Amino acid sequence: MLRSILVLLTLVSTAQAASWTPSFDLRVREEILDGVYHFAPEPDRDWVRVRARVGLAYETSAVRVEARLDNEHRHLRTPRREPDFDEVIVDRASLSWTPSPSTRWTVGRQDILWPGGFLVLEGHPLDGSRSMYHDGVRIVHDAGAWELDGAVVHNRKRDDFVLVDDVERALTDADETGVMLRAAHGSWALSFIGKFESDPDDALEDLGTLTLGVRRVREHWHVEIAAQHQNGTVRAAANDAVARGTGFAFAGEGAVRWPLAGDWTLETGAYTYSGLDGDLRPFRTPWGRWPKWSEMYLYSLIGESTPGRVHVAAWEDLAAPRLALERPFTSRWTDSIRLRGVVDAIWSPSTGDPRGVLTELALDADFGHGLTGHLLWERLDPGAFHDGRHGLPAIDGPVQFFRWQLGYSW
């Protein structure tokens, strides 16, 4: 499919007067994980990740053609290993057509992000922060009072269009075929997602999910809820329980922002994802497996993996009230600085046990001229859920995560 798209892109770009826009970005980050890999013989990790992307876009009033190459390699310092410069992949290869000011079609490899990213954002969570694309066809149409956003996607478990190195890396748990539709009207948005997963390695049984969502956003608050019907076999994390047949799951999140004195803002909110509890099933977010709630805790969830499925960023059987405090600053060295502190008191809906208290402190800076950076520290003080009683590797004490990052885009 992608080969045909690339040929089409070439034909279109040479058939009209070209207006070209090159792009380049580089991101360097070091992540130190203190005890986060509690399920491994060596619980600590320290790695430097370097991601470089280079792209070229062609655009007219009705057509946009974009191609971008991507490489992210990591240098593992603890435990020390020889550097592996990893794959060079096609991160974007898309053709967009705008037949009218109100309609845009996009075909090929593209990023699809729904506001908030609760249900749709990450196309393949198992490759970390390297890329997040979907392969498919998308239409966005402004019908006046309503804005429609629909897509049909097919994401392979392994990318068959790798330019350099490993084509055997798993990007997600199974081959995924899905249909998504989002209809927004004023402050309301309704969504429908149908998704079918089929594992080419037969490590997992087929699974189909239908997800209905409602989201409302106002100036200082938002709320989103989703109900899901599942048809197939689901392996829940706790106790490696297996639920067969059909069942329902649910998830939701919301927050209220409170302006305070001195440019401070307080956000109070909560989120919940069902777990396996009687007839209730663990919620399988369609494409929401990314660091929405925590950069650190998504790694801890690997310890809850089940046969054939890596639970990294698998937000299920989780619930928490959440407090966040932030304030922007300015200085002579930066265009903007933002300080943020967050506290989550996480628990397991299926067992009723506390998962622990997660705290976060972050500093984000924009230095201008395309240069950005941040510092991030997170700490988990584990609760009873992580004491080993549920058949999962225990977390014996506090674990921490630290990251610094510099990025440049042009």
Q: Is the pTM of this model over 0.95?
A: no
Render 337-395 in DSSP notation, one character per residue. Answer: EEEEEEEEEEE-TTT--EEEEEEEEEEEEEEETTEEEEEEEEEEEE-GGGSSTTSS---
Render pLDDT for 349-389 as a digit per residue (tens, 0 to 9): 999 999 999 999 999 999 999 999 999 999 999 999 999 88
Q: Are 41 and 27 in contact (CB under 8 A)?
A: no
Residue 149 reports pLDDT greater than 70: yes
Helix (H, G, I), strand (E, B) or coil at 14: helix
Cα–Cα distance for residue pair 111/122, rounded to 1 Å: 8
- Look up tokens 């509690």; give the residue: 38
Beta bridge partners of 325: 266, 341
**β 221-232/20-34 pair status:** unpaired
Cα–Cα distance for residue pair 248/284, rounded to 1 Å: 10
Confidence of residue 241 (pLDDT cuts 50, 70, 90): confident
Q: What is the mean pLDDT of residues 310-339?
A: 92
Helix (H, G, I), strand (E, B) or coil at 239: helix
Render pLDDT for 214-234 as a digit per residue (tens, 0 to 9): 999 999 999 999 999 999 988
**β 188-198/221-232 pair status:** unpaired
Burial 318-341 (b: 16+ CB within 10 A, else e): bbbebebebeeeeeeebeebeebe
Cα–Cα distance for residue pair 378/376, rounded to 1 Å: 7
Question: Percentage helix, strand, coil, to 5, in the chain?
Answer: 10, 55, 35
Confidence of residue 240 (pLDDT cuts 50, 70, 90): low
Q: Which residue has better confidence, 212 or 85?
A: 212
If we measure between CA atoms, which residue out of 320, 307, 240, 252 comes closest to residue 283? 252
Q: How many CB atoms lie within 10 A of CB 186?
A: 10
Q: Give me the pLDDT at residue 140, please.
A: 98
Instruction: Domain count for the chain, please give it.
Output: 1
* Domain that includes residue 292, residue range: 2-409
Write the CATH number for 56. Answer: 2.40.160.100
**Amino acid identity, residue 313?**
A
